[in-house]
Structure 1
């Protein structure tokens, strides 16, 4: 692979690049343009500190000179990161991988290796015999999706140790799952060019991109909050179906109903609407589910924050996925403060854990019925 790097000190370039690569270095923007025309590289790595003109000037100019399918990896300064991202999105520039300005030399080298496929050559990836199941988790807010995603997948991973499970935090407005599991360095948005087509997306080893759970080796997490296009959602889900048996997507708020959210709802195997067990929330959920039913989409309800002995009426025409009881605010705050997973605690909240186990049991029955 011919890689062209634009960096001010040629002697330091090797500290940023994978050890097995041979690169050509340009020490000025003018030299970079000249070498692009001469050698037509397979990939390019740009350090934004090389350019004194605004990103909306140099970025499209560079992209237009590179071969059409050559990936462009950008290592930005802090001051440049946001504007480069904005320019790439607004001009719809394809094939651009924008790294984080917070990365160390070693982390930059690791990301470049991952993007260009050098890590995958040695590890490869394993696909499921059958496509995995995709769950879209949505709510009107404060209905317990994050708590569910922290705890339930661990129970499921224990029940199915031979299954690969992944949880994606797509809550753009409130990425609490990312904060809890510290997923800032495991962002799918970095690999956005991979989702241009399904063939590229499937080739990536997504397990190496995600963060492996410290509790279960078959459980993974990733930060996936971004302003995705609908076709990116399609290719992302198709790729993750091939490499994982269960895919849980924390979408968060079910409004506004963007093109990406609609694509997710139509693509997922099961759409779960998390609903607080008060009359107003239940009635709103009935209307929302009814509207989607008219569009040919089936949604199930996970009823949350139910007090012990509290009656509820969700309606016979609404599919109930499960019920989870209320957890006291003080109990949740203590768990968040100590970064503790409830299902792994020595004295977990019994009613909540029992409800998750009931959901896992029902999941097992459904899975067995489908496979049998």
Structure 2
């Protein structure tokens, strides 16, 4: 027993309980009285040194608290590291490394950004009439062209429709080709062009217009043309084709103008030509076939306006208002002055070099019948 016991006779490495009983050092409770041996209670949140063989089993709430604290600490450390690295990177960059930051203007340096595409104005130009006159080429309008959109614009269409009107009364309409000579317009520097409407493209003459006419342009196509320095700039543009008027149809406008001329000329004819002989130079109506072509009211009006422009004394007679005509639906053009004898009227026709059948003496009256009221030339 001496190699297992010490001099005190106690087993080596033994411990005493609180009642003085001897026990093995690995006992937690006394084998004699059950008292605890060597156990010291620890607080749940105490992280002190290991005090016993059972300290390797941590208290559950304390363990959770320590884990949460550890996680928060790790996250905070990561945030600090990321923020610090980003700040260091931005401070280290030069301005030229970022194309969005400019060194001088603040709008970027390095590779220039693409310039915005120029806006194509699809609105027609705004026109203003400066003058309206009748020339040998037709009805002539001097017009100012303003861009229809903010900023500058270019007119280069092949068929720009331009209408001229006096209020609701149409004057002219035609299609103009600007493709061969594009026209640049600026808000503060409008372009000026002389527009010519040849015969058949106008229905009223300047003497029938009360004030400044209104011009309206219409675009029927999208345009992308720009001024070409190689193309000549012309100041005078002649309409290539007749166009629909602003407020009606071509035939409708022609009928209206024929009525206006008839009503305007009637009082003068009653006072100056009634019961006298006058040269008759034309007699036409819609539906009449001339040279294989069927006439319209627009053709009748054009024919009369031609004589009205050649002779200041030309007047329009509607046969239905006089008793010396066989039919009541003819538009007759006569030329003054009136004469007492038919030979004087025919002599005037000779002097103007009219063909025999194109000019002759006609007696105008609302008192007599048509018999013996026409004297042809020989």
Fold equivalence (TM over 0.5): no
Which TM-score band (shorter chain)? Answer: under 0.3
Larger radius of gyration between Structure 1 and Structure 2: 2
TM-score normalised per structure 2: 0.21
More strand by share: 2
Q: Which has the higher contact order (CA 8 A, sep 6+)?
A: 1
TM-score normalised per structure 1: 0.21
More helix by share: 1
